[in-house]
Amino acid sequence: MKRALIIKKKYLDRILDNGKVWEMRSSKTKITGRIGLIESGAGFIVGEVDLIGCGNALNECAALLTADSHQVDDISLIEKWKYPWLLENAKRYDKPIPYKHPKGAVIWVKI
């Protein structure tokens, strides 16, 4: 694992505990592989997941039909956060791992 993705706690918990398999982002990614999951603002890597690819941009209709995958409550957010990053095999760590947050990191942290 070479990098970790920063995610707000609400959505991170859904990935690790509730079967959320799409992380919605405002841009595409070409990154794939096993990545760490960082809880935004907490200073810990709390789990890991396989990032297997990136889907096409969603419109409102597609977002409504795929709500189980992205678990975004406010569909209007999909207007900005429209690209699904596809996730598999999420695992929460028994003990979160502290890390040093680099200045300016808002999406990715290199591990």
Percent of the chain residues past pLDDT 70, beyond the cut = 100
* 82 domain residue, yes or no: yes
Sheet with 33-39: strands ordered across? 22-25, 83-98, 44-54, 33-39, 3-7, 108-110
* 84 domain residue, yes or no: yes
* 57 domain residue, yes or no: yes
Domain count within the chain: 1
* 100 domain residue, yes or no: no
Q: Give 8's contacts (C-beta < 8 A, 6+ positions apart).
A: 39, 40
Q: What CA–CA distance (Å, rounded) separates 78 from 96?
A: 30
107 has pLDDT over 90? yes
For the stretch 15-55, pLDDT in tens is 999 999 999 999 999 999 999 999 999 999 999 999 999 99
Confidence of residue 77 (pLDDT cuts 50, 70, 90): very high
Residue numbers of the domain that contains 14: 3-93
* 107 domain residue, yes or no: no
63 has pLDDT over 90? yes
| CATH classification of the domain holding 44 | 2.30.130.30
